Structure 1
Amino acid sequence: MRTERLFHLLQILRGYSCPVKGQVLADRLNISIRTLYRDIATLQAQGADIQGEPGLGYILKPGFFLPPLMLSRDEVEAMMLGIRWVSNYGDSPLAKAAGEALAKISAVLPKETLLSASELPLRVGPPASEEFSSEDLSILRQAIRQERKIEIEYQTGDEEKIQHTIWPFAIGYFTDCRILVGWCENSESYRYFQTNKLLSIHILPVAYSGRYSQLFRKWKLQQTST
């Protein structure tokens, strides 16, 4: 099947760190060079960052491209339910991204699978308030990706406003709230902050020590040991 061949071509390209000649790829796939050129053009049109040209070779740049997948009914239902959950409980940009991802996935799903997915009986309840669905946490996700310190002003339960310098590394999305998790320089400990009580957020021009994944692992280890 052509879908399997395209997937195999991607797997082969992932194994090379430098450009590989088209004829080498064609020989490994047991296809003609003309067919290889068509397959590469197809993958590029679907979003794969394959760079190169005939005679010079091809290389697959790192990215988030997913090749066409063969999914079971349970896998489709799990994926659709997850996207519906993010559409309702992710902050505004994530909810929009979920809809865009669904459109891209729907474009490559077989027709019969797409029909069953649209009729999925598994549903997600609506968020509690419009304020919840309009929240935008893009700045927090940006700080985590860049592993930058942030300065926040936070409103406590007794209406007191406190400033903290945080090393953010995770955001928890729940049905009734969202929680920022980070290392707090002020208290020298891991702290939790409800995002709807963040009065201001400023990304500082300095990176924190280590990777956010390392902070997450240390925090998780602390949770399991207490």
Structure 2
Amino acid sequence: MRRADRLFALVQLIRGRRLSTAAWLAERLEVSVRTVYRDVADLQAQGVPIEGEAGVGYRLGKGFELPPLMFTVDEARALALATRLAQQWLDPAMALAASDAMSRVLSVLPARVRAEVERQPLLIAPVGLEPALGQRLQALREAAQARHRVTLRYVDQGERRTERQVRPLGCFYWGRVWTLAAWCEQRQDFRNFRLDRMEAVQVDASVFPVEPGRTLADLLRRETGHSTWR
């Protein structure tokens, strides 16, 4: 990350919380605590009103405000609730990105709207993906984005175990269940695999080409919104 980008990210992180410790900021930015101290001092020297001190925490003082986003109270509530709900069923990287995005939104809302959002009576219990399943989802999502082949050890609904090499195309959420849509090299056809039935996932170094008839768009056209898993 370029230093200019890191300084911008640092300001955004501080804006999104009432108080941010140097250790927390260092973890999020993947730098040392000493680097955070130096960056904060440089920002303060440039006139950014960061208040606080090393060992206590930082917050952004008055005089550094962006124009408020034009959300109604109900819109802001819905956005916050949807983000918190989605976080329970996303992989760790995407859940973190959602949290960061929501923090940025909250930081620029008018104080009255932000207060209404924070005290809304709808709560989300932490009953989402198990950690191992979340890690598997992240590996498959990233493999699909990078077009890396994946080798699966899979148990189907008949308790039959198979090993497949597939081209991951996309991950689909069906309400408490995630599936992987893929092109199966062994079957030479599209297949859907439940993530909770995968015993092992290995992402290969090889990159598969984009070939007509084997893409996610081809699958969606064929399935017309209906899918089965084996």
> TM-score with structure 2 length normalisation?
0.59
Cα 1:112–1:134 shift into 2, 3 Å: farther
Whole-Å Cα distance in 2 between the matches of residues 75 and 118 of structure 1? 13
Q: Which residue of 2 aligns with 1:209?
A: 209
TM-superposition CA deviations, 1:53-91 (whole Å, max 9, x none) = xxxxxxxxxxxxxx9632233432332122111222223
Q: Which residue of 1 aligns with 2:101?
A: 101
Q: Which residue of 2 aligns with 1:127?
A: 127
CA RMSD of aligned residues (A): 3.3
Whole-Å Cα distance in 2 between the matches of residues 173 and 166 of structure 1? 19
**CA deviation after TM superposition for structure 1 residue 134, in Å:** 6.0
Q: Show the 5 A alignment for 1:1-20.
A: none
Cα 1:96–1:221 shift into 2, 3 Å: same
Cα 1:125–1:146 shift into 2, 3 Å: same
Whole-Å Cα distance in 1 between the matches of residues 223 and 160 of structure 2? 28
Conserved? CA contact 1:92–1:134, under 8 Å: no
Cα 1:45–1:96 shift into 2, 3 Å: closer
Cα 1:205–1:68 shift into 2, 3 Å: farther
Whole-Å Cα distance in 1 between the matches of residues 144 and 202 of structure 2? 13
Q: Show the 5 A alignment for 1:4-83.
A: 46=12, 69-83=69-83
In the alignment, structure 1 segments of 5+ residues that lack a partner are 1-40, 48-66
TM-superposition CA deviations, 1:124-175 (whole Å, max 9, x none) = 45537x7378631221121011111111111122332211111112112243
Q: Which residue of 2 aligns with 1:179?
A: 179
Whole-Å Cα distance in 2 between the matches of residues 168 and 68 of structure 1? 40
Q: Which residue of 2 aligns with 1:14?
A: none
Conserved? CA contact 1:184–1:191, under 8 Å: yes
Conserved? CA contact 2:169–2:216, under 8 Å: yes
SS of match in other structure, 1:135: helix
Q: Which residue of 2 aligns with 1:162?
A: 162
Conserved? CA contact 2:68–2:110, under 8 Å: no
**CA deviation after TM superposition for structure 1 residue 98, in Å:** 3.0
In the alignment, structure 2 segments of 5+ residues that lack a partner are 1-6, 14-66
Query: How many percent identity over aligned positions?
Result: 23
Cα 1:102–1:191 shift into 2, 3 Å: same
1:153 aligns with 2:153: yes
Cα 1:43–1:101 shift into 2, 3 Å: closer
